[in-house]
Amino acid sequence: MFLQQTSPHLKQAVNVSDIMRGVNLALLPGIAIMTWLYGWGVLHNLLLCIVFALFFEIIMLKLRQRPVSPYISDYSAVLTAALLALSLPSLAPWWLSLIGAFFAIVVTKHLYGGLGYNVFNPAMVAYAMLLIAFPEQMSALWQQPLSEINSINWDLWQSLSYQWTGVLPPAISLDALTAATPLDAVRTGIASSAASISEMQQQQIFGYFGGHTVEWINLGFLAGGLWLIYKKYISWHIPLAFIASLFLCALILGSAVDPDRYPSPFFHLFSGATMLGAFFIATDPVTSATTNRGKLIFGAGCGVLVYIIRTWGGYPDAVAFAVILMNISVPLLDYYTQPRVYGHKLNSQGKVDD
């Protein structure tokens, strides 16, 4: 008796682990720049989130009676953890990582059926939950770049001890360590009508082409994202539509309507989580549209929502909310954007009418 197997008998070598590992690797340039700019807290958050996420993943797999090793080795929990960690302020207390990982892995992923079945992006739901439940910790602990606080001796030990105990060394005050993010500064500045864009130029809000210092982080994620497209781990549709729509919104309001109230398109593209969102978060295949036209609409929707929420909403950045809102519309998008199947809707000549 010979081996019985259904066709095809050939298989492309790429599997889910390869894809997830590729996406994790593509995060590295951005992570490196973030760590360079903000110090050990970034890596510490990453480590905590990954450990907690894997812990919950194993528990849930056991509870759901799934084989642990193939599911752990698919790197999807690691990716979720990484995206969550990169969304946390670098001074975040350790329990934010714990609660976030719990909400991402247990509630958003496994309670919805596990890998492939979750409706919402786990990392983004966890982030949104943390932002709503712990607004102070999530928004007031954004650190200044190390280069601007070099008067303070902020080393690994001090960083660790603050994240675990919440106690700062007596010589250091929290105000000296933290600062509003560029997006936050612009939003509050404009909301209170205290300052116009040109007046804000004086403060450290704008960098060379985007937000002050965060522009470099965005550049890192852009590089990783382009590599993902080059390696075909993601398709170009969602990132392009995301960035293009955000750019267009900012262009129309920023240059045509009132350049003094609305920052330039490049500020939007290179601030906050734009590049991370466009290439790594919105492209999560499980929770985004699957048809190519659906992907374009999905990406464009994310971009527009990001702009709307950043400009008129209650939160400085908006990637999480934009992605979650678009996640809801995925079944609808997939249904209404089905491609024309071969041999359908032809004229009598057997050709497609344009």
Partner 1 sequence: MTALTKQLSDLFSFHGGIKVDSHKRHDAAKIQSMPVPERLFLPLTQHIGQPSIAVVNVGDQVFKGQVIADLDEHPVSARIHAPTSGVIESIEDHEVPHPSGLRGPCIVIRSDGMDTWMDHNGAKDPAALNSREILTYIENAGIVGLGGAVFPTAVKLDNHHGIRIDTLIINGAECEPYISCDEALMTERAAEVVLGARLIQRVLNATHCIIALEDDIPQAYTSLQQAVKNYNDEHIAVIQVPELYPSGSEKQLITLLTGKEVPAGKIPANIGISCVNVGTAAAVYRAVHFGEPLLSRIVTAAGDAVSKPGNYEVLIGTPVADFLSHCGLGDQRLERLIMGGPMMGFTLQTMDIPIIKATNSLLATAPMELDRLDAAMPCIRCGRCADSCPMNLLPQQMYWYARARDFEKIEQYHIFDCIECGCCSYVCPSNIALVQYYRFAKSEIRDKQRSKIKSDIARERHELREQRLEKIKAEKAEKRKHMQARKKAPSNKPSDSTDNEDPIRAALKRVQEKKAKQKNQDPADKS
Binding site for partner 1 (CB under 8 A): 1-12, 14-16, 18-19, 70-71, 74, 76, 114-117, 235, 285-286, 288, 290-292, 295, 334, 338-344, 346, 349-352
Which residues lie closer than 8 Å to 226 by C-beta, 6 or more apart?
A: 279
Helical H segments across the chain, by residue range: 16-26, 28-38, 40-63, 68-72, 76-87, 94-101, 122-133, 135-140, 156-165, 174-177, 182-191, 197-200, 214-230, 237-251, 265-269, 274-276, 292-312, 319-328, 330-336
Query: What torsion, rounded to 10 degrees, do the Cα atoms 126, 63, 111, 115 define?
Result: 80
Q: In angstroms, rounded to a whole number, what is the distance separating the alpha carbons of residues 227 and 222?
A: 9
For partner 1, give the closer residue by CB, 98 or 240.
Answer: 240
20, 115 contact by CB (below 8 A): no
Tokens of 164: 């675990």
Q: Are the C-beta atoms of 115 and 57 separated by less than 8 Å?
A: no
Angle at alpha carbon of residue 81, lines to 126 and 283, rounded to 5°: 80
In the complex, the smallest distance separating the C-beta of residue 277 from partner 1, rounded to whole angstroms, is 19
- Could you tell me how far CA 317 lies from the centroid of its own chain? 11
Cβ-based nearer residue to partner 1, 328 or 346: 346
Tell me whether residue 18 or residue 260 sits nearer to partner 1 (CB atom).
18
| Shortest distance in whole angstroms from residue 304 CB to partner 1 | 23
Say which residue the tokens 């470099």 belong to.
216
Determine if the peptide bond prior to 8 is cis (ω within 30°).
yes
* Choice between 169 and 331, CB closer to partner 1: 331
Q: Would you say 13 or 256 has its CB closer to partner 1?
A: 13
Beta partners for residue 143, in sequence order: 178
Nearer to partner 1, 56 or 142 (CB): 56
Contact status, residue 218 vs residue 274, Cβ threshold 8 Å: yes
Q: Which residues pair with 130 in a beta bridge?
A: none
Ramachandran angles phi, psi of 124, nearest 5°: -75, -35
193 vs 349 by CB, closer to partner 1: 349
CB of 289 to partner 1, least distance (A): 9
- Give the shortest CB-117-to-partner 1 separation in angstroms: 7
CB of 234 to partner 1, least distance (A): 9
Measured from the CB atom, the residue of 202 and 347 that comes closer to partner 1 is 347
The DSSP string of 101-162 is HIIIIIIIIGGGTSTTT-SS-HHHHHHHHHHHH-HHHHHHTPBPPGGGGTTS---HHHHHHH
Q: Indicate the residue among 19 and 106 with the shorter CB distance to partner 1.
A: 19
CA separation for the pair 168, 191 (Å, rounded): 32
Q: Which is nearer to partner 1, 202 or 340 (CB)?
A: 340
